[in-house]
Structure 1
Amino acid sequence: MSTPMSMPTITNFQKKSAPFSSFQFMPEKIRFETQEAGEQIILLLRKHWITTLPWIASGLILFITPPIIFPIIGLSGMLPGFIPSGYLSFIFAGWYLLSFGFVLVNFILWYFSVDIVTEERIIDISFSNILYKKLSETRIRKLEDVSMRTGGFIRSVLDFGDVHLQTAGNEENFEFLAVPHPREIVRIVNELMGKEEEEGEK
């Protein structure tokens, strides 16, 4: 059972709970399947929005390709004569259906693959595909060290990077990859670790 705790003393952030945000601090009206009674979510994290650009760009290319390519093929006479022109509508529909599916699957993988920091636990929910979900968790009191790594011009300018959480013993280590505001994340987790130590000494 969780015990009440004060909000981490964060100066740069107020409560953030925008539904598509990659960094949500003290989000409201958000629950996860293993959440305990009274357990408060401190952070909900996704990969930085910049990491979605490759599949967004690919999706845009897929969507604009047919109106450009098919007229060229038709005018050049490259379209086989045995294919009725009416079939082109089915080809268009199939192309756009697959393109939409590509974008939707990538969005689902990004949106639902989250890292959650509560007042007591670290929870990692990751999807390698839409049919396979992996859920890992550890208690804050089992963390030994928290560090961050940023590198490169883009990461520095957009303020995102990787956060590494080392656990005690044979416990699985955790990584928050390409998340926004890594310094603030380390700061918050360190404060939570300090509160756990204080409570353990009482």
Structure 2
Amino acid sequence: MFTTHHYPHQRPDERIVFYLRRYWFVFFKTMLFYAVLLIFPYLFFLLSETLFPNLLSSSVGFPAIVIGASIYYLFIWLFFFHAFADYYLDMWIVTNHRIINIEQEGLFARVISEQDLQRIQDITSDIHGFFPTLFGYGNVHIQTAGEQQRFTFEQVSHAAEVARNIQTQVRLCQAHGHTLAGANQQAPIERKAVKTGEFVL
């Protein structure tokens, strides 16, 4: 179970610095699209009442319209739930050791990939379009030396600031790694030959 402090497979000395989802306006546009789709059956009902007044009073026509509208709304709900799950369950987690990309693919599949901060080579951000520029959301691209050479934080808020924060964590992680490496290096052992009888130690 994921919380703001704990998540599955967390390392002993690992802590979450921040986590991101796509900017809320991205899903708001999806909500507007489905809200428009909800109006269509009502418009069809008004049109049928004007053009085919006997259809609604028919013992077959009215139940058929009700069943058709019910099936239509059911599919609208399913597609909306799929869009919400894709928006809400897609997540990017930045810890003091690594970045984790959680990508929801459909309702029953999820892909999780990760990369250590020390293997990050380059971080860039870009903002394109009218609404992204107006609201300040965009993409953050992370170039790594691993098998998945490019991580992308898609449509996140304050993309440039996110890129700077990740770069800060990379520098801290690399500095901490160099410190540990220096502390673990032992001074070369000076071996002296001391004669004890016929043996040399």
TM-score clears 0.5: yes
| Structure 1 residue 185, shift from structure 2 partner | 0.9
1:181 equivalent to 2:129? Answer no
- Specify the alignment match of 1:107 in structure 2: 84
Provide the C-alpha distance between the structure 2 equivalents of 1:159 and 1:200, rounded to a whole number of angstroms.
Answer: 34
Same amino acid, percent of matched pairs: 24
Amino acid aligned to 2:116: R
CA contact (8 A) 2:126 2:160 kept: no
Amino acid aligned to 1:95: Y
- Specify the alignment match of 1:35 in structure 2: 10
**Larger helix percent:** 2
| Structure 1 residue 170, shift from structure 2 partner | 4.4
| Structure 1 residue 196, shift from structure 2 partner | 1.4
Moved more, 83-92 or 108-117: 83-92
1:68 equivalent to 2:82? Answer no
- Specify the alignment match of 1:143 in structure 2: 120
| Structure 1 residue 195, shift from structure 2 partner | 1.0
Higher RCO (CA 8 Å, separation ≥ 6 residues):
1
| Structure 1 residue 137, shift from structure 2 partner | 0.5
1:126 equivalent to 2:103? Answer yes
How many equivalent residue pairs? 176
Q: Aligned Cα RMSD in Å?
A: 2.4
Provide the C-alpha distance between the structure 1 equivalents of 2:14 and 2:141, rounded to a whole number of angstroms.
Answer: 23
| Change beyond 3 A, Cα 1:169–1:109 | closer
Larger Rg: 2
| Structure 1 residue 154, shift from structure 2 partner | 2.5
CA contact (8 A) 2:127 2:138 kept: yes
- Secondary structure, in 3 states, of the residue corresponding to 2:62? coil
CA contact (8 A) 2:103 2:110 kept: yes
- Specify the alignment match of 2:21 in structure 1: 46
- Unaligned segments of structure 1, at least 5 residues: 1-26
Amino acid aligned to 1:198: A
| Structure 1 residue 181, shift from structure 2 partner | 0.8
| Change beyond 3 A, Cα 1:83–1:35 | farther
Amino acid aligned to 1:182: A
- Specify the alignment match of 2:34 in structure 1: 59
| Structure 1 residue 182, shift from structure 2 partner | 1.1
| Change beyond 3 A, Cα 1:28–1:169 | closer
Provide the C-alpha distance between the structure 2 equivalents of 1:171 and 1:111, rounded to a whole number of angstroms.
Answer: 23
Moved more, 178-187 or 146-155: 146-155
Match of 1:172 among 123, 144, 149: 149
Provide the C-alpha distance between the structure 2 equivalents of 1:46 and 1:168, rounded to a whole number of angstroms.
Answer: 24
| Change beyond 3 A, Cα 1:55–1:152 | closer
Provide the C-alpha distance between the structure 2 equivalents of 1:161 and 1:171, rounded to a whole number of angstroms.
Answer: 21
Provide the C-alpha distance between the structure 2 equivalents of 1:169 and 1:96, rounded to a whole number of angstroms.
Answer: 45
Q: In the TM superposition, what whole-angstrom CA distance separates every residue of 1:53-72 from its partner, at most 9, and x where no partner exists?
A: 44212210121221221231
